[in-house]
Amino acid sequence: MELSAPEQRLLEFSREQFGEHLSQFLLAGLGEENLGPRGRFVITYAGGGDSLLERQVEVITYEPADGSSYLPRGRHPLVLLALLRLLMDGGRGSLNALRYEQAEVLSLLGWEGTEEARGEVDEAVARYFKLTYKWKMNKSELAASGLSFYTADEAMMSEYTSMYTEAEKSTHLIFNEHFIKQLLGRSLFGIDWNKVRSVSHQSLSRK
């Protein structure tokens, strides 16, 4: 997928802010059109000594009755990077709350303000809002922690509302504060992402 200069700058922002492997995670689905209803990340990272550990993260979302996928795809990951770029703007005064106008997002993306582009921004937000990430500790982590079982469900976003005026549409978006803190600390899903060696992503059929 060929990216414009503004889109490339968003990728550079992501790599600088979150690192290469977390950027791979955030860009999952970029340029894809045919995805299954669910997804899975397999994250390999360094454990103690020379050992490698693996974290599997299931991605659950709304599943339309017709069997189509509601996972983010195409250019949706670029919209997410633009939203995170706005959120990281220190002048906005909140770690996880973002109020923006579509024109701000389109400007960062370098997209024209067409009805199609505006619809794509809205659709991206709707899709990321419905994502749930499910993961659990592996056996070696459980043993090290003295636990018999550990599982977690996490979401990227918790609330969004849209408001219209004659001139523009604005959106108030609340990210999950814990998720954003972990993302900024490169410790998402209980992993030190500075130790990650590879990230793979696949879409899955309905179970």
Domain spans of the chain?
Answer: 5-204
| Residues β-bridged to residue 52 | 46
Percent of the chain whose predicted confidence (pLDDT) is above 90: 77
Contact partners, residue 103, CB within 8 Å, separation at least 6: 113, 168
| pLDDT surpasses 70 at 193 | yes
| Residues β-bridged to residue 38 | 204
The count of other CB atoms within 10 Å of the CB of residue 136 is: 16
| Residues β-bridged to residue 30 | 74
Gap between the Cα atoms of 169 and 119, Å rounded:
11
Tell me the C-alpha to C-alpha distance, in Å, between residue 115 and each of 3, 4, 48, 112, 160: 20, 20, 52, 9, 20
Mean pLDDT, range 50-70, rounded to an integer: 91
Q: The whole model's pTM is what?
A: 0.93
What are the tokens at 46?
């360094």
Q: Which residue has the tokens 């803190």?
A: 181
Mean pLDDT, range 109-126, rounded to an integer: 95
The SS3 assignment for 88 reads: coil
What are the tokens at 132?
């749930």
List phi, psi (to 5°) of 189: 60, 30
List phi, psi (to 5°) of 197: -105, -30
| pLDDT surpasses 80 at 201 | yes
